[in-house]
């Protein structure tokens, strides 16, 4: 498909700037009036729209209106100086400087259109620069056989990236096999990956080929690789080195020529420091790393995704105020949450436009859910981790205090001494305490209550054992 470029330029502007026609005369189609632009974007898809900074009648409201009608189009401002670029509210995707000259402008526009073509090629919906960088990386590495590590939060589209790498590789005619390593127990996962012999364990009434063998000559996608145990990591490392592995209960090696693409939603460097992920496996998996940002970090993709899923679901559309709210929302569940939102709206309101009130109700419900399972956005991973633990621990502290008050109100007087002793185990937070001090006190209190049982302590605190071990190490409580 030939790229489509529209350039707003009326005769007075072309007369005023002779260099404008020299720079853009061969790039695309001139449009003299906004009304004509609206009619074109209503009828066909446009890749790039170029708008001079001094075109009559252009303002932020107009740009937003164009954006709403053609969310997948890149909209760039044409300026005579970098100072002319309107950065307010990120209403443009960037700018083209007329003073750069014809050759430089031509290269710049070709790159924009090339990146747009890659997004279409890989079925990636969006227009953010970060997503375009991911698409360019896929284009470079897909023809190779090197292993890839995709890093990104849950719901951000890691499997979509893995499938794109496979589909545009020489292995595209072979199988793409995906497995979620975090969803299976260690013993079950080993059997799933490497297969097993008859009688290898109770219930194994026959031989079974594992996923590595099923993916021979193709690609295996190991999602949530960070959840695997060190013993299994050793076996994965060997497969990556020479393609050999032993089925469960087998004594002869089996070989598979499967390309490995792994993914994780956690910081594996931290897991390496904690001794729960092998550094050599990390480097072997991550010959190439692809960082897939959260939707919060690439807000330009929210509108295209909303319209894409709405079209698929047959949803009529959204009011301007509803879109405003949806664009401002953090989307902690990323693309998966956005897709589920559109599916829900299509089911509940199949024939109507989605209003701001309906969006507000959805956001309120998500906030209630996040009270039970908090998700922090807009912070660094370290800050977000601290804040999540803070909310969990503070909630636990309040619950313990309520239980203590209830016990004290109902126990007979002869137990006063015992209750007072138990009270000493309960931390009392005071104004001015730091988050780390509060966190440390609650962990110590929980350890006392469980007699040092770390598994029970993690349950009591409502956090994972790995998180607890990391915190014990941080506060020298080992």
Same fold, 5-121 and 143-291: yes
CB of 66 closer than 8 Å to CB of 41: yes
pLDDT recorded at residue 342: 96
pLDDT higher than 80, residue 265: yes
Q: How many CB atoms lie within 10 A of CB 259?
A: 22
CB of 161 closer than 8 Å to CB of 301: no
Question: Where along the chain do its domains lie?
Answer: 5-121, 143-291, 298-366, 381-474
Query: Rounded CA gap, 142 and 119, in Å?
Result: 14
Instruction: Dig out the tokens for 192 from the structure.
Output: 């799933």
pLDDT higher than 90, residue 290: yes
- DSSP state, residue 248: B
The string of pLDDT tens digits covering residues 19-69 is 899 899 888 999 999 999 999 999 999 999 999 988 998 988 999 999 999
Instruction: Dig out the tokens for 253 from the structure.
Output: 């090696």
pLDDT higher than 80, residue 462: no
Counted residue by residue, the chain has a size of 478
pLDDT higher than 80, residue 306: yes
* Angle separating helix axes 465-474 and 454-461, nearest 10 degrees: 100
pLDDT higher than 50, residue 257: yes
Q: How many CB atoms lie within 10 A of CB 180?
A: 15
Helix (H, G, I), strand (E, B) or coil at 336: helix
CB of 212 closer than 8 Å to CB of 251: no
pLDDT recorded at residue 446: 84
- DSSP state, residue 318: B
Query: Rounded CA gap, 210 and 263, in Å?
Result: 19
pLDDT recorded at residue 2: 67
- 143-291: which CATH topology? Rossmann fold (3.40.50)
- 298-366: which CATH topology? Helicase, Ruva Protein; domain 3 (1.10.8)
Mean pLDDT in the chain?
84
pLDDT recorded at residue 249: 79
Instruction: Dig out the tokens for 173 from the structure.
Output: 């005619």
What secondary structure does DSSP assign to 338-383, as a single string? Answer: HHHHHHHHHHH-TTSPBPHHHHHHHHHHHHHHHHHS----SS-HHH
Q: What is the pTM for the complete model shown?
A: 0.74
CB of 386 closer than 8 Å to CB of 470: no
pLDDT higher than 50, residue 414: no
Domain 5-121 CATH class label: alpha beta
Helix (H, G, I), strand (E, B) or coil at 212: helix
Residues 6+ apart with CB under 8 A from 61: none
């Amino acid at each position: 498909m030939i790229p489509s470029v529209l350039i707003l330029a009326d005769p007075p502007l072309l007369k005023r700037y002779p260099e404008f026609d020299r720079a853009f005369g061969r790039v695309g189609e001139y449009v003299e009036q906004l009304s004509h632009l609206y009619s074109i974007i209503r009828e066909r898809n446009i890749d790039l729209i170029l708008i001079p900074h001094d075109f009559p009648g252009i303002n932020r409201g107009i740009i937003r209106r164009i954006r709403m009608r053609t969310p997948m189009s890149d909209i760039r401002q044409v300026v005579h100086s970098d100072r002319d670029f309107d950065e307010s509210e990120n209403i443009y995707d960037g700018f083209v400087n007329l003073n750069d000259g014809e050759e430089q402008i031509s290269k710049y526009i070709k790159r924009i259109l090339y990146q747009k073509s890659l997004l279409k090629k890989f079925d990636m919906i969006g227009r953010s620069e970060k997503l375009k960088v991911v698409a360019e990386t896929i284009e470079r590495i897909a023809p190779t056989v090197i292993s890839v590590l995709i890093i990104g939060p849950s719901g951000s589209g890691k499997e979509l990236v893995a499938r794109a790498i496979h589909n545009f590789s020489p292995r595209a005619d072979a199988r793409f096999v995906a497995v979620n390593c975090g969803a299976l127990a260690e013993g079950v996962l080993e059997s799933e990956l490497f297969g097993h012999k008859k009688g290898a364990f109770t219930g194994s009434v026959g031989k079974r080929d594992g996923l590595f063998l099923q993916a021979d000559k193709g690609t295996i996608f190991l999602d949530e690789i960070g959840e695997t145990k060190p013993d299994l990591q050793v076996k994965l490392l060997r497969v990556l080195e020479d393609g050999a592995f032993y089925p469960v209960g087998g004594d002869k090696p089996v070989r598979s020529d499967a390309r490995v693409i792994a993914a994780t939603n956690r910081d594996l460097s931290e897991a390496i420091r904690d001794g729960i992920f092998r550094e050599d496996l990390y480097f072997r998996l991550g010959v190439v790393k692809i960082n897939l940002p959260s939707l919060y970090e690439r807000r330009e993709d929210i509108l295209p995704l909303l319209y894409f899923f709405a079209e698929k679901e047959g949803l009529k559309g959204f009011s301007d105020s509803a879109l405003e709210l949806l664009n401002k929302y953090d989307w902690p569940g990323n693309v998966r949450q956005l897709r589920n939102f559109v599916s829900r709206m299509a089911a509940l309101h199949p024939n109507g436009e989605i209003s701001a009130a309906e969006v507000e109700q959805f956001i309120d419900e998500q906030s209630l859910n996040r009270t039970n399972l908090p998700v922090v956005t807009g912070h660094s991973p370290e800050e977000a981790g601290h804040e999540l633990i803070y909310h969990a621990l503070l909630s636990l502290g309040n619950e313990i205090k309520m239980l203590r008050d209830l016990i004290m109100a109902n126990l007979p007087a002869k137990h006063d001494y015992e209750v007072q002793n138990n009270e000493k185990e309960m931390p009392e937070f005071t104004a001015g305490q730091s988050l780390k001090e509060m966190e440390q006190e609650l962990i110590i209190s929980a350890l006392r209550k469980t007699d040092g049982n770390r598994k029970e302590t993690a349950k009591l605190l409502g956090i994972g054992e790995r998180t607890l071990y990391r915190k014990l190490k941080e506060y020298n409580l080992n």
